[in-house]
Amino acid sequence: MFRSLSRGVAAIAVLAAGVGAVPSAHADGVSALQQFVSEVKSGRASFTQTVTAPDGKRKKTTSGTFEFQRPNQFRFAYAKPAEQLIVADGKEVWIYDPDLQQATVRNMDQALGATPVSLLAGGDLSKDFTLKALPAANGVDWVQAVPKRSDSSLQSLKLGFKGRDLAALEIVDGFGQQSVMQFSAVEPNAKVAADRFRFTPPAGTDIARQP
């Protein structure tokens, strides 16, 4: 399950910690990203995610909500068609599948790495990513983030902003699978209760701890 997280399937849930210096930018997309990570400290939103197989024929659409609070806390809940919960308390990341009564837990730094999540969760942008502004389209300012690590599981990553609000995320992983997330009902700097970022496995849950 953490493999899918590292590929960005659960990306952006975090938006959680102060990031390192962002290179000076002249383009709107990079400027929007810089403004977002410097000004938005917490929030919540709804999302719709469409995952397309490498052959372009098979698609799966899911939806849900996420909440975040810096530093390094988030709650990412898939509601349809199947429930799944991803919770980070700042130290660990839990993934819980209520239908299977299974949970996986891993240290946050090992779970994230140079991923879309770490891009907005606290990674040093100039160290981990090369940023490039892309042309705006349909009122959305786009920025491309290319991981500098040669072992990254991503082929490409694009983030779209409307003003300072995150509007969309497009990811192609190392296997050619595309994931597109669209965000709505965004509430930047919304107050989120601290207990939303704590997870206690229900009785009877099968727990697997990964390094």
When pLDDT is averaged across residues 63-78 and rounded to a whole number, the result is: 86
Query: What are the E-state strand segments in 53-151?
Result: 59-69, 73-80, 84-88, 92-97, 102-107, 129-137, 140-147
Task: Please give the single-letter amino acid code of residue 185.
Answer: A
DSSP H or E run through 161: strand 154-162
Residues with Cβ within 8 Å of residue 113, at least 6 apart in sequence: 6, 149
When pLDDT is averaged across residues 17-22 and rounded to a whole number, the result is: 36
Cα-to-chain-centroid distance, residue 77: 12
Q: How many residues does the chain have?
A: 211
Residue 84 pLDDT exceeds 70: yes
The lowest-confidence range among 93-107, 139-153, 180-194 is 139-153
User: What confidence score (pLDDT) does residue 100 get?
Assistant: 94
- pLDDT tier at 193, thresholds 50, 70, 90: very high
Query: 2-189 is classed in which CATH architecture?
Result: Clam (2.50)
When pLDDT is averaged across residues 147-152 and rounded to a whole number, the result is: 71
- Is 69 buried (19+), middle (13-18) or exposed (0-12) by CB count in 10 A? buried
Residue 58 pLDDT exceeds 50: yes
Asked if residues 109 and 4 have their Cβ atoms less than 8 Å apart, the reply is no
Residue 178 pLDDT exceeds 70: yes
Residue 57 pLDDT exceeds 60: yes
More confident residue, 84 or 115: 84
The lowest-confidence range among 57-66, 125-134, 196-205 is 125-134
| Other Cβ atoms closer than 10 A to 151 | 8
The lowest-confidence range among 30-34, 58-62, 117-121 is 117-121
Strands of the sheet containing 140-147, edge to edge, are: 129-137, 140-147, 154-162, 165-173, 178-188, 42-52, 59-69, 73-80, 84-88, 92-97, 102-107, 206-210
Show the 3-state SS of 36-81: HHHHCCEEEEEEEEEEECCCCCCEEEEEEEEEEECCCEEEEEEEEC
More confident residue, 46 or 129: 46
Nearest-angstrom CA–CA distance, 202 and 74: 19
User: What confidence score (pLDDT) does residue 126 get?
Assistant: 63
Asked if residues 25 and 34 have their Cβ atoms less than 8 Å apart, the reply is yes
When pLDDT is averaged across residues 176-203 and rounded to a whole number, the result is: 92
- Exposure b/e, 129-147, CB count within 10 A at least 16 = b: bebebbeeeeebbbbbbeb
**Domain-wise residue ranges, the chain:** 2-189
